Amino acid sequence: MASKFDLFDKDFDWRSKQVEWPVTTPTSQGLSGVIASETKVAWANPNTGELFYRGIPVQELADSATFEEVAYLLVEGKHWTKYPEEFQSFCFRLHRVRQMPVEILNLIAAQPADTHPTRLLRAAVSALGCFDIIPHDNLKAHHHWEDVWIISQVEALVGHIARYRKGLKPLISDFRQSLAKDLLYMILNTRPTKEQVKLLNLLWILYADHGLDAPTFTGLVVGSTKADPYYNIVAGLGALRGPLIGGAAERVIRMFIRLRDANVARAWTEGMLAKGYIIPGFGHRVFRQPDPRVEIMRKYLPEFAKDPEQRLLLEVATSIEDTASFYLNPKGIYVNINFYSAVLFHFLGAEPEMIPCFYAVGRMAGLIARVREYLKNNRLYRPREKYTGKTDRTYITMEER
């Protein structure tokens, strides 16, 4: 007997004690309404806008936890305070693998400095896989999902890429430091403040998991073939940076920088809305109310807008939000995570192009959690299509065409 779900019913909250496969659901474009997996990793309540990682409200985690703790929670499904020794060993495994082979640093340096950093990151991850996957075991390479080191390897690579773009010399990652501290040290070239470390942890926590959005779903599809994590991430980075998703934050910050003035921003926003254009950084597939992650970020904005330049940027952002919200909120469209995360990443010293790379580090935690979960009860993804094209044709020679 198939389980039947009416996923377009506003009150259905995508939870069920168990799922009897096959399932029957209403399906629509872009696979919306399609159930692609069962999960215990995270849940977003579409009716209230609350978000939970392993049952814990994300607000609670964002205010007090570190990224390592949340990564452990997502990946292992256990609370770090209950398994202190295991958590310590998790951190140890995570932190000790950040030294990159010199060939990787050379590879980065051999590409033009204006290459989009997500492309550099993809090339570097691909090359790193050649060093890390033990030869001749590729038939079992998906077992590498048991390792978590890809999170910190991505972090280290992002640091190296940021330094290369700034013309700074490579720096060896400090294996005793947390991921956030290490990365900030790499990009700022000086010791980061406590607040900066906290902010980066917070942003990574908020970006760690977001259901089966395009990058994570790409990861599940590739993972379902039993590919190793490096193939998986090479694949997912293409989606993560897509202009409609991670690339949006990049566009948002460019827009803020270009507008430079709160009044100009207001006029620009009104002009865009009048023409029926989409404002970058607005709208969400599931939430029809404020995104909880945005509300968390909002608290930290004033604290980090220190110099006049930063305050101006924040004014521009607020002006766009206020103007657009007036028209869009009644339609259920609110600012999304990319809007203010762009501001905060900018305050941390990240260039606009680097933002998707930063976001990728956080997302690794959710990706590993979801792929591992799927592999425990794996089924290769293989949907079908309905053929509506031409039929009964026979080959004719080129002269007769």
Pick the closer one to another protein by CB: 221 or 265. 221
Select the residue interacting with another protein from 49, 211, 283, 352 (CB under 8 A). Answer: 211
List helix spans (H) across 77-224.
84-95, 102-109, 117-132, 149-166, 179-188, 194-207, 214-223
Query: Which amino acid is located at 24 in the chain?
Result: T
Select the residue interacting with another protein from 1, 9, 17, 190 (CB under 8 A). Answer: 17
Contact 41, 367 (CB under 8 A): no
349 binds another protein (CB under 8 A): no
22 binds another protein (CB under 8 A): yes
Choices 8-16, 82-90, 186-194, 289-297; region in contact with another protein by CB under 8 A: 8-16
Residue 360, φ and ψ in degrees, nearest 5: -60, -35
220 vs 396: CA distance, rounded Å:
42
367 vs 227: CA distance, rounded Å:
14
Report the candidate in 169, 167, 172, 189 with the shortest Cα–Cα distance to residue 113: 167
Tell me how far, at minimum, the Cβ of 363 lies from another protein, in Å: 13
21 binds another protein (CB under 8 A): yes
Site for another protein in 279-338 (CB under 8 A): 285
Tell me how far, at minimum, the Cβ of 41 lies from another protein, in Å: 8
96 binds another protein (CB under 8 A): no
Site for another protein in 26-65 (CB under 8 A): 26-43, 54-55
Q: Is the dihedral of CA 254, 256, 261, 266 positive or negative?
A: positive
Site for another protein in 119-138 (CB under 8 A): 119-120, 122-123, 125-127, 129-131, 133, 135-136, 138
99 binds another protein (CB under 8 A): no
Residue 33, φ and ψ in degrees, nearest 5: 85, 0
Query: Which amino acid is located at 42 in the chain?
Result: A
18 binds another protein (CB under 8 A): yes
381 binds another protein (CB under 8 A): yes
Select the residue interacting with another protein from 192, 236, 280, 366 (CB under 8 A). Answer: 236
Tell me how far, at minimum, the Cβ of 83 lies from another protein, in Å: 18
Site for another protein in 146-165 (CB under 8 A): none
Which residue, chain included where needed, has tokens 């997996």? 37
106 binds another protein (CB under 8 A): yes
The tokens of 256 are what?
């803020």
387 binds another protein (CB under 8 A): yes
Pick the closer one to another protein by CB: 214 or 273. 214
Select the residue interacting with another protein from 239, 257, 273, 312 (CB under 8 A). Answer: 239
141 exposure class (CB count in 10 Å sphere: 0-12, 13-18, 19+): middle
Within 10 A of 5 (CB to CB), how many other CB atoms are there?
A: 17
